[in-house]
A and B are shown apart, each in its own frame.
Chain A
Amino acid sequence: MGTDLVIRDLHVSVEGKPILRGLNLEVKQGEIHALMGPNGSGKSTLAYTLMGHPKYHVDRGEVLLGGENLLAMDASARAQKGLFLAFQYPVTVPGVTLANFLRSAVSAVRRARGQLAVEAAGDGASPQEVLIPMRQFRRELLERMRALGIEEEFARRYLNEGFSGGEKKRIEILQLAMLEPKIAILDETDSGLDIDALRTVAEGIKRLAGPELGVLLITHYQRILNYITPHYVHVLLDGQIVESGGPELATTLEAKGYDWVREKHASVA
Chain B
Amino acid sequence: MTLYDVTLPGEPPVAHMCGGCEEIFHGIFGHGDLQKWYQTVERRDAEALRLYIQQSRAHELHRTACAFRCLPPAVVALSTPDQLRAELRKVQAILPEY
Q: Is the A/B pair a real complex? A: no
